[in-house]
Chain A
Amino acid sequence: MADLRINFAGIKSPNPFWLASAPPTNSGAQIHRAFEAGWGGAVWKTIGAPVLNVSNRYGAWHYGRQRMLAINNVELISDRPIEINLREIAEVKRAWPDRAVIVSAMVESKPESWREIVERIEGTGADGIELNYGCPHGMSERGMGSAIGQVPEYCEQITRWVKEAATIPVIMKLTPNITNIVLPARAGVAAGANALSLINTINSIVGVDLDTLELTPSIAGKGGHGGYAGPAVKPIALNMLAALGTDEIVSRSGIPISGMGGIANWQDAAQFLLLGASSLQVCTAVMHYGFRIIDDFCDGLSNWMDEKGFKTIADVTGRSIHRVSEFKNLDLSYRAVARIDPDKCIKCNLCFVACNDTAHQCIDLVSPHGVVVQPLSYDLRSNGKQEAVESRPQPVVREPDCVGCRLCYNVCPVDDCIEMVELPSGRSEVTWSELSQQQPQVTEDWEAMKAYRDEVGIHIH
C-alpha cells in the first residue's frame, strides 16, 4: 500500500488531495464533511475584501449528454463576514489537526492590508496562506486577482509584503490568463514564496442562448466573461505545470507546486504528479459529484502506485518531466503507422472518413472479396441486415502512405482497436535542431529540402 502522505512546503496532509479555494470550501460545515469523507486538505474560499454576489453565477459547457465538462463562474471571493470565516477556520483546524487547512486571501494592493490579513489568518492556526492572484472576473476590475497575476512585478511586490509578515508557508497561485506562465512563477520564486499553485480559472464566455440571444448564464439580461474550470481545462493546466517544471529558474529553486485544473479522477491526479505537482487541488469534480469522489481518488492512486512500484508521492512527482521537450528536439526519423485490428473493428468507418476527408487519405475500404471499394457503392436495391453486414468493407491502412498522424486512433470508438505501430524508417535519428545546424540550407530552402528528402527517402504524397 503506497504512502499517500505529503509534506508540501511544510504543510502536512494524509493524502495529496485538497479542495481548491472555491464554493466547496465556503464554510466550516462543508469542510468538516469533506474531511469526514477523507479529503487531505482544503484551501478556504478566498477571504479579504468585502463583496456582493449575483444570481446565475455558474455557466457550464456540456458536450453531448456529458454534463459539465467545464464550469464557468462569476462568483466572487467569500461574501460571508470575515469574522465568521476566521472563527470557522480556527474551529476546523482545531477539529482536524492532521488535515491541511490553507486560507486563500485577496485584499487591496496595500502593504498594510496584506499584513493585516496575514496576521488574522495566522491567528486561526491555519497551516498556510494561498495568495489569490487569479480571480479573472469582478475582483480584477478592482485591481485584485488576475490584475495582479498578469503583472509579474506586482506578483513579486505583494508576495514580498506577505512574506515579510508571514510565519506560515505562503503559496502563490498563478493565473493562466497570461502569455507566459513562467514569468509570474519566477516572480514568486524571487519574492521567496514557499510554493506555487496553478492554474486558476480561465477567462471564458460559455455560450449564447439561442432563444433570448443573451449570454449564458444571463444576469438580468447581461453577462460577461467568467472563470473556466473543469475537465476541459486539464490539458492547458498540464502544459503550464510542465512549463514550470522545465524552466531552469523555477525548477532549480526546488519550490513545490500544487497542481489543479480539471482533476476529475485519480488518473488525472497521477498525471499532474508526473508533471511535477506534489499536492493536488480539486474543485469542479466535487461540484459535480460531491465530496464522496475522494474514495476513488485515494484508492485509485494508491493501487496504481503499488502496480508501478512507487512508494511515496515524492517518487511520482516530476517523473515525466524529462519527457517534456520541444518540437525541435523530436526525432524526425521516428516512424509510426496506424494498424486496425480487424477482429476488434466494428466497421463504423469513422477512421476512414476522418482520414479521407481531413487527414492523409491512406485508409482503404476493402470488400470481403479483398477488393478496394468506394464508400456508398452498394446497389440501391440491396438491403437487409445480412446483406449490409456481410458485404460491409473493412477499413485497412495503406501503411506505406500513412504519415502516422494518429487521427484515426483518436476517433476510433473501440478500445485498443487501432494501434500506432513503430516501423523502422530506415533513416538515422535526426532532430530539426541538428538538421538546422548540420545542413542549414535544408531548413531554409525548398529545393535543398527536396534534395534532402530524395537523399534520405522521405516521400510525401
Chain B
Amino acid sequence: MESAFRDIDKALAEQLPSLTPNEASIEADRCLYCYDAPCTHACPTHIDIPNFIKKIASRNLRGSAQTIFASNLLGATCARVCPVQELCEGACVLGADHKPIAIGRLQRHAMDNARKNHSYPVVKAALTGKSIAVIGAGPAGLSCAGQLALLGHAVTIYERRHLPGGLSTYGIIALREPIEIALEETRMIEALGVQIRTGHEFGKDVTPASLLQDCDAVVLSVGLGKTPSLGIEGEEAIIDGLEFIEASKTTGASLRIGRNVIVIGAGNTAVDCATIAKRLGADQVTMVYRRTNREMTCYQHEYEFARAEGIEFRFLSQPLRVVLSSGLPIGLECLRIELGPPDASGRPAPTPVKGSEFVLAADQIVKAVGQLKPALAELLGIETKKGFIAVDTNFQTSMARVYAIGDCIRSTGAASTVMAVQDGKLAAAAIHKQLAQLEKQVEVS
C-alpha cells in the first residue's frame, strides 16, 4: 500500500520557481503602467498593481512591498494562492492580443524580498486604548487584526488550532503555498503587536461573554467547518479532504497514500487532494463528480493543471457506497447520472439512472465536497443567511459589537483568501470608525 516515493518536500515543492531578478525586471518593464488599471479593480484588495510593478522596474523593491502591504497585509499568501487568471491577470490589457503581465509572480518577487530583508509594515499610530478580540487566525482574522493594530488598537487573536494561518497553513497544497510562508506572515502580524493565542477554542477556552466584557469589539473569522457527510454506506472509510491536505503539510512522511485513489468532488480543494495523492506516489488518481467538466467548481486553470498532472476524471457519476473488505476500501460503487434542467444552483440537475450501478476500484477514497456552514452562529444566537453568519455593510452581525468576516459570511460567490483579506481590511476600517464615533459620543455626554 505504501508508495515508494516519499520525498514529500520535493514532490510538493513550490510549483512555480521564484523569478530571478532579471526575469522580474524584464516582466516589470513589460507592464504598460495603466492608469486606474483594470488589474487593480479586479483585485479584491485593490492593490495598486502598476505602482508596485513600476517600483520593481525601478529597483525600489522596498517601496514595491510597501505598496502591496498598503492594500493587502497578506500579500505573500495572495501572490501564491490567488486565482490570478480570474482576477488581476485576467483583466490585464495585454491579455487580449499578447500575454498578461505575470502579476502574481511579480508580487511574490516583491514579497520574497520583503521577507528576506524583513521590510514589514510598522505601527505609527498612537495607541487608542481600545482592545479587540479576533476569533480565528486565518487570512481574514490576520488581515483584520493587522489593520486594527496599525490603527493603534490592542488586538488578540484566539485560534483553536496549534498553528495560526488557517487555510493558508493547513488547507492549501504546499506546492501553491509552503507552510513556512503562511507562518512567516503570522509572525509579521504578531510583530505589529497582535497577540495570537493558539489552542484557544472560542466557546470553550474563551467565552463570548468574557470577551464582550473585556473588549470593545469581537470579530468572528472562524471560517467554515468540516467536509459534509455524503450520507453513503461505508463513509467512515472515506478521508476528509481538508485533513488529507493538512496531513501533507504537517505530518509529512507519515501520510499514507493509496495506489489507486479516488477523490470525490470537483472544487479546488478536490484538485489539491488529487494532486497530493498523485505527487506522493499513487498509481492512479481519479476525481469522481456527478456533473461534467463544464459544471466543475474549480477554476478552469486548476482543471487544466489536474489534467496535466495525469489525474483522471469520472464525470456523471454519483457515489453510492464504499465497497469494503476487512474494513478497508476496495472500491466505490457509483450510479450513472443524467443531467436535467437547471436546479436551484443554476446548474443542470443531476438525475441518477436507475440500475446503472458500477464499481470503481480504489484503495483510498478522499472527499472534498465543500465545507459545513459555521456552527458558531447558533451557539451565539446571531442571525444567519443561508446558514452563513449575516452581516451588514460594516460587517456587523445582529449582535452589538460583534463582527464577522471571511468564509463564514460568504453566502454568495466563490470564497477566496483574497476576499477574506479584503473583508478584514474593510471591517477594521469600519470598526475603527465606529469606535471613534463611540468615543465622540462619550466625550459629548
Contacts and interface: CB of A to CB of B under 8 A. Distances in A.
Contacts of A387: 41-42
Contact of B36 (A376, A384, A413): A376
A64 B38 contact: no
B46 A346 contact: no
Contacts of A353: 35-36
A375 B36 contact: yes
Contacts of B36: 349, 352-353, 365, 375-376
A64 B57 contact: yes
B285 to A, nearest CB: 30
Contacts of B419: 383
A368 to B, nearest CB: 13
Contacts of B94: 346
Nearest to B85: A385
A350 B422 CA distance: 28
B91 A346 contact: no
Interface in B56-87: 57, 85-87
Contacts of A178: none
Given A65-B25, A385-B87, A385-B91, A349 B42 contact: no
Query: Which of A346, A375, A383 is packed against the most chain B CB atoms within 10 Å?
Result: A383
A388 B41 CA distance: 6
B139 to A, nearest CB: 15
Interface in A63-106: 64-65
B25 A346 contact: no
A388 B29 CA distance: 23
Contact of B42 (A65, A381, A385): A385
B311 interface: no
B86 A65 contact: no
Contacts of A347: 34, 38, 93
Interface residues of A, number: 25
A382 B41 CA distance: 7
B32 interface: yes
Contacts of A32: none
Interface in A326-377: 346-350, 352-353, 365, 375-376
Contacts of B88: 385
A376 B35 CA distance: 9
Interface of A, helix, strand, loop or mixed by DSSP: loop
Contacts of A346: 93-94, 96
A383 B87 contact: yes
Contacts of B96: 346
Nearest to A63: B29
Contacts of A349: 34-37
Contact of B86 (A64, A348, A384, A413): A384
Contacts of B422: 381, 383
Contacts of B39: 388
Interface in B94-139: 94, 96
A385 B86 contact: yes
B223 interface: no
Nearest to B419: A383
B405 interface: no
A201 B87 CA distance: 49
Contacts of B33: 350
A64 B30 CA distance: 9
B157 interface: no
Contacts of B25: 65
Contact of A64 (B29, B35, B43, B46): B29
B46 A348 contact: no
A376 B26 CA distance: 28
A380 interface: yes
Given A346-B96, A383-B42, A385-B91, A65 B29 contact: yes
Interface residues of B, number: 29
Contact of A392 (B29, B38, B57): B38
Given A64-B29, A385-B91, A380 B46 contact: yes
A440 to B, nearest CB: 44
B44 interface: yes
A385 B93 contact: no
A389 interface: yes
B91 A348 contact: no
A65 B38 CA distance: 24
A348 B41 CA distance: 13
Contacts of A391: 41
B42 A350 contact: no
A352 B94 CA distance: 18
B326 to A, nearest CB: 49
A383 B41 contact: yes
Contact of A388 (B32, B35, B42, B85): B42
B352 interface: no
Interface in A283-307: none
A348 B35 contact: yes
B417 to A, nearest CB: 13
A383 B86 CA distance: 10
Contact of A348 (B29, B90, B93, B426): B93
Query: Which of A350, A380, A413 is packed against the most chain B CB atoms within 10 Å?
Result: A380
A273 B57 CA distance: 37
B426 A350 contact: no
Interface string A383-400: 111011101100000000
A383 B44 contact: yes
Given A350-B35, A380-B426, A385 B29 contact: no
Interface string A184-212: 00000000000000000000000000000
Contacts of A381: 422, 426
A353 B35 CA distance: 7
A383 B43 contact: yes
A245 B43 CA distance: 56
Contact of A413 (B32, B38, B41): B32
Contacts of B90: 384-385, 389
Contacts of A352: 35-36
A33 to B, nearest CB: 31
Contacts of A376: 36
Contacts of B93: 346-348
Given A64-B57, A346-B96, A348-B93, A388 B34 contact: no
Interface string B4-41: 00000000000000000000011001001111111101
B26 A65 contact: yes
Interface in B210-232: none
A353 B91 CA distance: 19
A69 to B, nearest CB: 14
A382 B422 CA distance: 11
A429 B184 CA distance: 71
B46 A388 contact: no
Nearest to B94: A346
A450 B97 CA distance: 49
A384 B34 contact: no
A346 B87 CA distance: 17
A226 B422 CA distance: 53
A392 B93 CA distance: 11
A383 B416 CA distance: 12
Contacts of B86: 384-385
Contact of B32 (A348, A365, A380, A382): A348
A384 B42 contact: yes
A311 B93 CA distance: 44
Interface in B222-251: none
A346 B33 CA distance: 13
10 contacts: A346-B93, A347-B93, A348-B34, A348-B93, A349-B35, A349-B36, A350-B33, A352-B36, A383-B87, A385-B42
Q: Which 7 A-B pairs have the closest CB atoms?
A: A385-B90, A388-B42, A353-B35, A388-B41, A375-B36, A349-B35, A383-B44
Interface of B: 25-26, 29, 32-39, 41-44, 46, 57, 85-88, 90-91, 93-94, 96, 419, 422, 426
Given A65-B26, A375-B35, 4 more contacts: A346-B93, A380-B426, A383-B43, A388-B91
